[in-house]
Amino acid sequence: MNWHERFKAMKKELGLTNSDIAKITGNSADSVKSVTQPNKEIPRWLKLAIVVHERWKKKCSSVKPYT
């Protein structure tokens, strides 16, 4: 998957909208939409968020539930 596909997957898995991300980052929803257009490179701050999400998801999926 490319960065844009990974971003969309992260948003879906976390139940986030561009407005939610805007509130977290202090940007406007239109700004988030603009910087994540498919013809633009994903910003470095967002790449970090994607990688952290993916690593956390992988770590959590490898933990066995307590029984």
What are the residues whose beta carbons fall under 8 Å from the beta carbon of 11, sequence distance 6 or more? 17, 21
Is residue 24 within 8 Å of residue 18, measured between CB atoms? no
Structure tokens at 47: 């790449």
Looking at every residue in the chain, the average pLDDT score rounds to: 93
Task: Tell me the percentage of the chain whose pLDDT exceeds 90.
Answer: 87
Rg (CA), the chain: 14
Full-model pTM: 0.85
User: Band of the pLDDT at 63, cuts 50, 70, 90?
Assistant: confident
Query: What pLDDT is stored for residue 67 in this prediction?
Result: 65
Query: What pLDDT is stored for residue 6 in this prediction?
Result: 97
User: Band of the pLDDT at 30, cuts 50, 70, 90?
Assistant: very high
